[in-house]
Amino acid sequence: MIPLSHSLTIAALLFVLGLAIILLRRELLFILMGLEVMFNGVALTAIAAGQYWNNPDGQVLTIFLMVVTAAELAVALILVWLAFEHLKTTQVDMLTRLKDDTKGGAP
């Protein structure tokens, strides 16, 4: 049996790696990959805690997390595709052109 500390260390490294990808990259696809790595770190934490307490709830939570992650990824990829069709780029800095240019808010 793998000690809980080893599993939690790997999960924390996955989470920090995903966070670093999100903070350092400007491409939408890399940001989505960073989110997926962070979700995998959370899933590993749930599985490790469930194994430590001899409770299958961590595995059930991971299944639900994977379903939600797949749905989130499908919607996000559609949004990336639409942004690329509209602006011909996936750079986050260039997508700020989608903001409203009015200064006073609602007319």
| Assigned token pair, 47 | 């599985």
pLDDT digits (tens, 9 = 90+) for 40-80: 999 999 999 999 999 999 999 999 999 999 999 999 999 88
Say yes or no to pLDDT of 31 above 60: yes
**pLDDT for residue 101:** 57
Q: How far is CA 99 from CA 18, 26, 28, 69, 89, in A?
A: 27, 17, 17, 27, 16
88 or 3, higher pLDDT: 3
Mean pLDDT (the chain, rounded)? 88
Domains of the chain, start order:
4-95 (1.10.287.3510)
**pLDDT for residue 84:** 85
> Could you say which DSSP state residue 89 is in?
-
Contact criterion met (CB below 8 Å) for 79 and 31: no
pTM of the model: 0.81
